[in-house]
Amino acid sequence: GAVVSQHPSWVICKSGTSVKIECRSLDFQATTMFWYRQFPKQSLMLMATSNEGSKATYEQGVEKDKFLINHASLTLSTLTVTSAHPEDSSFYICSARDSDRGPNQPQHFGDGTRLSIL
């Protein structure tokens, strides 16, 4: 149980392209999902918290117009990197927590998306 699916697993595209990444909880409902960015040999940096049916909460320094988040259902959140540039190249990982199990529950991670902007 507690499987999170993330697609695509990697993307290579030209500068200026917008890229959409999907995060799905397959066997549980998640009112909240999390989007992280991870640089090589570094820890997970929280970018934003995605809330079902409402606006996402962005961490300080993360541009909300650059990284658009939509959480339209209890099992799907999307992250769109708009007009991507080489400095946006990174490993993006989503995670979700089972909403029905109460507080103090682990986050389950997707496989991540490796984004390379040429």
Partner 1 sequence: GENVEQHPSTLSVQEGDSAVIKCTYSDSASNYFPWYKQELGKRPQLIIDIRSNVGEKKDQRIAVTLNKTAKHFSLHITETQPEDSAVYFCAASLGYSTLTFGKGTMLLVSP
If you write DSSP's letter for every residue of 66-112 in order, what string do you get? TEEEEEEETTEEEEEETT--GGG-EEEEEEE--GGG-SS---EE---
Q: How near is the Cβ of 51 to partner 1 at its closest, in Å?
A: 11
Examine residue 32 and tell whether it contacts partner 1 (CB under 8 A). Answer: yes
In whole angstroms, the minimum distance from the beta carbon of 16 to partner 1 comes to: 27
Which of 17, 22, 44, 89 lies at the binding interface for partner 1 (CB under 8 A)?
44
Closest CA to 48 of 39, 59, 37: 59
Please report whether residue 111 would count as binding partner 1 according to CB under 8 A: yes
51 binds partner 1 (CB under 8 A): no
Binders of partner 1 among residues 62 to 101 (CB under 8 A) are: 93, 97
Q: Minimum CB separation from partner 1 for residue 65, in Å?
A: 22
Rg (CA), the chain: 14
State yes or no: residue 109 binds partner 1 (CB under 8 A).
yes
CA distance 24 to 89: 22
Residue 76: how many other CB atoms lie within 10 Å: 18
Site residues (vs partner 1, CB under 8 A)? 32, 34, 41-44, 46, 49, 93, 97, 103-112, 114
